[in-house]
Chain A
Amino acid sequence: MKMLKSIYKKIFIIISLLFISSALAENSELTDFYKSIRCLVCDGQNILDSDTEFSVNLKEQIKKKFDSGLSLQEINNELISIYGEEISFKPSDSHFLLWASPFLLLLLIFFLIRKKYF
């Protein structure tokens, strides 16, 4: 019983570490940013993969802003204010339920079965 609990503790630590490091490891490359912007005239592609005028134009505009000193986060906010939330493949933090749901579900399941198995 104790052994099992220690395993679960270790899993929890690993997940938390991964969570933290993943959140910190924001990719600051421009091309990776393009991958997170949606092409609104395509079937779900990002603007890096798309050749449409919309995507090419957006890539140019973003590059201009990036070269002029704006941070990727600021560019992202500007895009959202112009095109709406659907332009970003990364839902904003206001969708807290979405981001937290996998971990909440995990906790929920462990909670529900704790009496039986632990």
Chain B
Amino acid sequence: MINSLGNLFLYLPILFTFFFYLRSSKLNESQTILAARVIYICSLIPFLLLLIAFATSNFQTLNVLQNSYINDPFIFKVTSAWGSHEGSILLWVFLINLYGLTFSFFHKKNLLNKQLIFISQIFIIYILISSNPFIEVNMDGNTEGLGLNPILQNLLFVIHPPILFLGYLGLIIPFVISSFILTTKQHDEPLFQQMLIWSKISWFFLTVGIVLGSYWAYSELGWGGWWFWDPVENVSLIPWLLNTALVHSLQVSIKNNQLKLWSLNLALYGFIAAVFGTFLVRSNLIVSVHSFATDPLRGLFLIIIIGYLLITTIRMNLKSISLFNKDTFQFISKESFLLINNIFFICAALTVFIGTVYPLFSEMIFQTPVSVGAPYYNFTFNILLAPIIILMAFAPQIKWHNHHSQNQIKLLIIFLTGFVASLISYFIFYNLFFSISVFITAPLFMQSVVVLFAKFKKDFRFYAQWLAHLSIGIFIIAAVSTEQFDTEENLLFKKDSNNELPLNSGGYAYIENIQNIEKLNHVQILLDMKIVEENKTYSLSPSKNIYQPSGQITNEVSVVNNFFSQYYATISQIESDLVSINLVYKPFINLLWMSALMLILGIFGSIIRKI
């Protein structure tokens, strides 16, 4: 029943859209909006039906059978809806239409809604052709379900994909506004203002989504890493970078009508990057922890969608270049700083793109597979962004149009202090990377303090921006510390020998006890461990979980806090006569998460703005 309903509501919107296009010229504005909203609401229904199917463990639906287990906890049953390729594309469609519906309350312009509907219907066609979750299964086989991948059975997983998708798909509205502006040549300020608000919304969700994904990887995957330059992480980073550039560039476009073509293109390519990201994850081209198991045909259709978007973008650009070339700033000004900002962010996005795609390119052209990982990105990406971090210290204080006051001495003092600080840090820690990061972020920290005492009107918006920029500086220091100064050791506890093992840091560790606990859909081997250091005792309880029905074994991480740092333990081996624990010490990792929170707060504050 649910299958037929689901399929019905997949075909219905396409039918409605067809008629909508046929008769759109004969409808007045309120009728058009009504028709658009009907299509949006119709397209929302299939995903809700899938949720119901999962909630009721309706194993007659193939997707539910493949991704859910009768004894999974209820919350995970429901959220398995987006645990597979089909389900997540359906969520994709749901969110596009949710955005469309919300958007239709702010914008009655036909052309905008029509393009949004068109894009969303393309994805529904995609689902119908190759990724339909509503396939009927005969009830003669498995009535318990094949289970959700245990790695995904985590609260963070519950919210990470929807939030990330909200971020990706939020870019569709800047996309349609941008193409509207380019095709109808109406570049009035209210449109850019609208684009800014929607860009900030997608920026917010993208940031939260990426941070959640990173935290999930840190707490679930057991290696203490929070960013792996994994292809799937990279494809979420690219839209984020373009979105950041967009939000900054739009300030110029709104305030002074400059950098308009830059803003419009950033909006267009931002959405294309988001769709491309989806394509890469599902296309089987990339090996990653995140990949869905799919067949190449699904990726093919997505290439076609991306091709359409790209060709549209290029055509619109070719038509409009002459119309928007009116940028007139030439002095040191906020406009020129933001122009530099645009350039560097675009380069950074392109770098991440090149690094992600190069292995495929190398395999095709040179016939040698090559791996592009952290060493490459640490060299290129980090160096590219370094000048921006330095400029970020000064940019908010630069005036529009023409920044006359050039206090050279003040600049010199700031840079000298930064240089001295980085020298001192080198003699303390003997780490060149840390010292470089001190040099880069020192101007930012100093300016952040100085500007708090400066006499000018500081509104809510100012503090949101101040917080966001400062958080980046803190993030860099935390990230470099945690990567450069972390320590890892393997503790081998033997059954019959003395159970207190010495740690490199000077303390010691011992195991209190080991328990076997039966849970709803898995058996948990829980290990209670204590670390004693400088008269303080820390408790850790890593575990191994054995899941039904697959028999899959996962490692659960245990962390304990030590102010801004963390101890991080996983069981690497457990036998009848020995236990081997991997103990990692991550300095300042909590500072890293704190800075991420600060950034999110800052972005949120810039959306709210008026309190």
Please give the residue numbers on chain A whose beta carbons come within 8 Å of chain B beta carbons, in ascending order.
1, 3-4, 7-8, 11, 14-15, 18-19, 21-23, 25, 31, 35-36, 38, 43-46, 48-51, 84-91, 95, 98-99, 101-103, 105-106, 109-110, 113, 116-118
Contact = CB atoms under 8 A, between A and B. Distances in A.
B291 A116 contact: no
A18 B370 CA distance: 26
Given A8-B340, A21-B436, 10 more contacts: A3-B332, A7-B336, A43-B287, A44-B373, A51-B573, A89-B373, A89-B375, A105-B350, A117-B327, A117-B336
A44 B380 contact: no
A98 B391 CA distance: 27
Interface residues of B, number: 57
B573 to A, nearest CB: 8
Given A21-B432, A98-B358, A36 B373 contact: yes
Contacts of B231: 44
Nearest to A107: B347
Contacts, number: 137
Given A85-B371, A102-B351, A14 B386 contact: yes
A36 B375 contact: yes
Q: Is the interface of A mostly helix, strand, loop or mixed?
A: helix
B386 A91 contact: no
Interface in B344-377: 344, 346-348, 350-351, 354-355, 358-359, 362, 368-376
Interface string B228-247: 10110000000000000000
B189 interface: no
A49 B275 CA distance: 31
A117 B370 contact: no
Given A14-B387, A25-B432, A44-B289, A4 B336 contact: yes
Nearest to A104: B347
Contacts of B346: 109
Given A4-B331, A109-B343, A18 B383 contact: yes
Instruction: Name B's interface SS.
Output: helix
Nearest to A49: B223
A113 B291 CA distance: 39
Interface of B: 223-225, 228, 230-231, 287-289, 291, 325, 327, 330-332, 336, 339-340, 343-344, 346-348, 350-351, 354-355, 358-359, 362, 368-376, 378-384, 386-387, 390-391, 406, 432-433, 436, 488, 572-573
A1 B331 contact: yes
6 contacts: A4-B331, A23-B379, A46-B374, A51-B572, A99-B380, A102-B354
B374 A44 contact: no
A43 B376 contact: no
B580 to A, nearest CB: 10
Most buried by B among A31, A49, A116: A49
Contacts of A25: 432-433
A95 B365 CA distance: 12
